[in-house]
């Protein structure tokens, strides 16, 4: 488990590709926050969390992960160059 976490933090796509089976079904989740108005004037908002799960094949997961890693890297490079 530590190796998987380290590979993720290091963005080691080769390790992640090797560790997942070709038949893997990978389930990821994200929390979506929605805010409800409790008063008519909209002053008080009440947060409501919903968990959304996504099923992906190994290929879908790794492609999405590579895209996310690239976007974060591009953003970091852009902020460092400014």
Residue-level pLDDT at 66: 95
Give the span between the Cα atoms of 81 and 70, in whole angstroms: 16
In this structure, the chain runs to a length of 82
Residue-level pLDDT at 41: 66
Hunting for tokens 């004037």 — which residue is that? 41
Give the span between the Cα atoms of 62 and 13, in whole angstroms: 8
pLDDT by position in tens, the chain (length 82):
799 999 999 999 999 999 999 999 999 999 998 887 766 665 677 788 999 999 999 999 999 999 999 997 777 777 778 7
Q: What pTM did the predictor assign?
A: 0.71
Residue-level pLDDT at 35: 80
């Amino acid at each position: 488990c530590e190796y998987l976490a380290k590979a993720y933090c290091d963005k080691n796509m080769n390790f992640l590709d090797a560790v997942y089976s070709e038949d893997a079904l990978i389930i990821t989740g994200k929390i979506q926050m929605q805010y409800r108005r409790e008063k008519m004037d909209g002053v008080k908002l009440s947060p409501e969390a919903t968990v959304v799960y996504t099923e992906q094949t190994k290929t879908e997961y790794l492609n999405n992960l590579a895209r996310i890693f690239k976007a974060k890297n591009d953003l970091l490079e852009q902020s460092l160059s400014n």
